[in-house]
């Protein structure tokens, strides 16, 4: 008979309640969170990791807590556990935070929540997990209750009078079942796993990669092989983009937690483990390479464009995004790069007019993205952006830059459709002028929405959800078809 089946010697309110931190009180693993913060702000420190590991896991945790501190106030807490602890404290119960995380982080969490009588954590020498944690608790208490989440917590749950779990792993639940241990409470606080993965890889952002089809469609030279190459190009860019989004979110895990909406991203919210993020990065990268090899119609120089895209997006994730103006120029350039890659994949030449139009249009969209982010900060009374190079005072200047770029894009389009050689591609080229007011309407509407604070941070998401934008896009396609 396990200890949790014995009659308790103390009443529930008299027994100390011990709670784990990683995966239990908070939904994430603070060790991997700290590693992400270190890679973002102190990437060179990764070279010291092998030497820290020689001193044991507790040494690694201590060094990370020193050079890559985490804001305890912004951690993704399991609200069901927090609410339970608050109720138990009101009932007069002694509550202890007992964690394998470094004691400095444990103390910061305790100060923030103001729930614990004492905190126990790893001290740089002793890694307070599993049987070591159990021995520490048995020295202090005659009996206790414990809340844990992983297989390493099994000895403590087996020894506790009333075992409790929070977002338990499948391995833990199977181990508890094999020992006939039934948790008294099961605190589940997370989004569905599959939904979190879909959100993390941002499938909706794949819409941006439709740009790879633009050169082929505008050339009016559709063949079976070129269409197959364009489709393969689309998925290569989509997989690569998703891998980059994952890397970006992992590196920004601490910064995202300070953002009003980005704190809900799967890694920042603790709904998806960091290790799963790394696994998905390797899986998507492997899928990209496999697809390129499987489609013989994709030329090698297309792969060079794909590598350039991956290098630029990775550089953007690490440091370019923090440099004001450079970030929006890089973002707009990535849109144009997609079209260049699409042209390379299908053997289609990109016209200088198309490159010019796309550069200015996408610069305007990148500017409106930053504008809406800063506008939202201004409404909350914030003066500086977190992890960016902008000030709220830059708002009007960004508006000027962005609207000017949008108008220049329309101007380039008018110059293009006025050229005599356009009639070679379009028998009724004059009908293309009907697109001009539609472009102006959409650009002006996007900026008006942004100025009113009604625009999502990403104009692409807005365009996909906005009925007016979809109607304008459909009208542009119809006009182009009637101009053929």
Tell me how far CA of residue 156 lies from CA of 57, 120, 171, 406, in angstroms. 20, 15, 15, 62
Under a CB-based contact definition with an 8 Å cutoff, are residues 480 and 217 in contact?
Answer: no
Confidence of residue 218 (pLDDT cuts 50, 70, 90): confident
Q: How many CA atoms lie within 13 A of 194 on its CB side?
A: 0
What is d(CA 95, CA 18) in angstroms, rounded to the nearest whole number? 6
What is d(CA 176, CA 180) in angstroms, rounded to the nearest whole number? 6
Under a CB-based contact definition with an 8 Å cutoff, are residues 416 and 422 in contact?
Answer: yes
Q: Do domains 3-187 and 191-318+329-336 have the same CATH topology?
A: no
For residue 469, give the nearest of 459, 480, 482, 479 by alpha carbon: 459
Confidence of residue 4 (pLDDT cuts 50, 70, 90): very low
Supply the pLDDT for residue 58.
95
- Both tokens of residue 188? 């589940």
Window from 86-100, 175-189, 219-233 with minimum mean pLDDT: 219-233
Q: Is the pLDDT of residue 316 over 50?
A: yes
Buried b (16+ CB within 10 A) or exposed e, 203-238: eebbebbebbbbbbbbbeeeeeebebbbebbbbbbb
Supply the pLDDT for residue 482.
92
**Residue-wise pLDDT tens digits, 340-382:** 999 999 988 888 888 889 889 999 999 998 898 888 777 776 6
Domain boundaries, the chain: 3-187, 191-318+329-336, 351-484
Average pLDDT, the chain: 90
Place of tokens 């365009």: 463
> Domain 191-318+329-336 belongs to what topology?
Tetracycline Repressor; domain 2 (1.10.357)
Task: For Cα atoms 204, 209, 214, give the angle at the middle one, nearest 5 degrees.
Answer: 135
- Both tokens of residue 79? 């609200």
Averaged over 428-449, what is the pLDDT? 94
What is d(CA 106, CA 111) in angstroms, rounded to the nearest whole number? 9
The angle that helices 30-41 and 57-67 make with each other, rounded to 10 degrees, is: 50
Averaged over 101-108, what is the pLDDT? 96
Supply the pLDDT for residue 350.
81
Supply the pLDDT for residue 382.
67
Place of tokens 């960016």: 388
Window from 102-106, 283-287, 350-354, 438-442 with minimum mean pLDDT: 350-354
Confidence of residue 140 (pLDDT cuts 50, 70, 90): very high
What is d(CA 214, CA 208) in angstroms, rounded to the nearest whole number? 11
Rounding to the nearest 10 degrees, give the CA dihedral for residues 349, 353, 359, 362.
Answer: -100
Supply the pLDDT for residue 2.
41
**Residue-wise pLDDT tens digits, 45-75:** 999 999 999 999 999 999 999 999 999 999 9
| CB neighbour class for 241 (10 Å; exposed up to 12, middle 13-18, buried from 19) | buried
Q: Is the pLDDT of residue 1 over 60?
A: no
Under a CB-based contact definition with an 8 Å cutoff, are residues 99 and 21 in contact?
Answer: yes
Window from 211-215, 219-223, 384-388 with minimum mean pLDDT: 384-388
Q: Is the pLDDT of residue 7 over 50?
A: no
Strand (E) or helix (H) holding 39: helix 30-41
Confidence of residue 455 (pLDDT cuts 50, 70, 90): confident
Buried b (16+ CB within 10 A) or exposed e, 311-343: ebbeebbeebbbeebebbbbbbbbbbbbbbbbb
Q: DSSP class of residue 12?
A: G
Under a CB-based contact definition with an 8 Å cutoff, are residues 274 and 247 in contact?
Answer: no
Supply the pLDDT for residue 386.
58
Q: Is the pLDDT of residue 446 over 90?
A: yes
Percent of the chain clearing pLDDT 90 (strictly above): 70
- The CATH code of the domain at 3-187 is 3.40.50.1000
- Both tokens of residue 37? 């913060």
Residues 6+ apart with CB under 8 A from 293: none
Supply the pLDDT for residue 319.
82
Supply the pLDDT for residue 60.
96
Supply the pLDDT for residue 383.
61
Supply the pLDDT for residue 465.
81
Which range, 126-135, 198-207, 421-430, is most confident?
126-135
Full-model pTM: 0.84
Supply the pLDDT for residue 5.
43
Place of tokens 């101007």: 411
What is d(CA 374, CA 207) in angstroms, rounded to the nearest whole number? 25
Under a CB-based contact definition with an 8 Å cutoff, are residues 317 and 327 in contact?
Answer: no
Q: Is the pLDDT of residue 81 over 60?
A: yes
**Residue-wise pLDDT tens digits, 385-425:** 655 678 888 889 999 999 999 999 999 999 989 888 788 88
């Amino acid at each position: 008979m396990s200890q949790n089946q014995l009659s308790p010697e103390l009443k529930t309110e008299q027994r100390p309640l011990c709670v784990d931190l990683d995966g239990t009180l908070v939904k994430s693993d603070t060790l991997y969170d700290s590693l992400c913060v270190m890679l973002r702000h102190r990437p060179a420190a990764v070279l010291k990791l092998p030497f820290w590991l020689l001193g044991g896991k507790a040494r690694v945790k201590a060094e990370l807590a020193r050079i890559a501190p985490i804001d305890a106030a912004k951690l993704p807490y399991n609200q069901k556990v927090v609410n339970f602890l608050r109720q138990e404290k009101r009932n007069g119960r002694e509550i202890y935070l007992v964690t394998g995380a470094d004691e400095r982080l444990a103390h910061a969490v305790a100060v923030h929540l103001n729930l614990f009588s004492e905190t126990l954590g790893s001290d740089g020498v002793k890694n307070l997990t599993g049987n070591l944690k159990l021995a520490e608790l048995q020295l202090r208490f005659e009996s206790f209750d414990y809340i844990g989440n992983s297989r390493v917590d099994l000895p403590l749950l087996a020894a506790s009078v009333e075992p409790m779990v929070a977002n338990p792993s499948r391995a833990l639940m199977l181990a508890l079942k094999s020992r006939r241990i039934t948790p008294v409470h099961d605190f589940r606080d997370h989004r569905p796993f599959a939904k979190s993965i879909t959100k993390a890889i941002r499938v909706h952002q794949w819409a941006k990669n439709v740009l790879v089809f633009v050169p082929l469609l505008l050339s009016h030279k559709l063949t079976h092989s070129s269409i197959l190459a364009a489709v393969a190009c689309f998925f290569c860019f989509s997989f690569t983009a998703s891998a980059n989004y994952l890397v970006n979110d992992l590196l920004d895990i601490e910064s995202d937690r300070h953002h009003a909406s980005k704190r809900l991203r799967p890694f920042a919210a603790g709904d998806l483990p960091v290790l799963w993020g790394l696994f998905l990065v390797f899986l998507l990268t492997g899928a990209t390479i496999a697809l390129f090899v499987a489609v013989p119609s994709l030329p090698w120089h297309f792969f060079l464009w794909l590598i350039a895209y991956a290098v630029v997006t990775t550089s953007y994730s690490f440091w370019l995004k923090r440099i004001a103006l450079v970030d929006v120029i890089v973002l707009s350039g990535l849109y144009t790069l997609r079209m260049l890659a699409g042209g390379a994949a299908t053997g289609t030449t990109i016209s200088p007019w198309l490159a010019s139009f796309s550069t200015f249009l996408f610069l305007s969209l990148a500017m409106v993205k930053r504008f809406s982010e800063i506008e939202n900060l201004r409404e909350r009374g914030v003066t500086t952006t977190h992890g960016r190079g902008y000030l709220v005072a830059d708002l009007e200047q960004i508006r000027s830059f962005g609207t000017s770029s949008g108008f220049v894009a329309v101007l380039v389009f008018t110059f293009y459709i006025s050229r005599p050689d356009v009639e070679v591609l379009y028998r009724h080229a004059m009908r293309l002028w009907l697109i001009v007011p539609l472009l102006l309407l959409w650009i002006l509407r996007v900026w008006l929405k942004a100025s009113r604070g009604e625009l999502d941070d990403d104009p692409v998401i807005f365009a996909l959800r906005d009925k007016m934008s979809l109607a304008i896009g459909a009208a542009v396609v119809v006009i182009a078809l009637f101009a053929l």
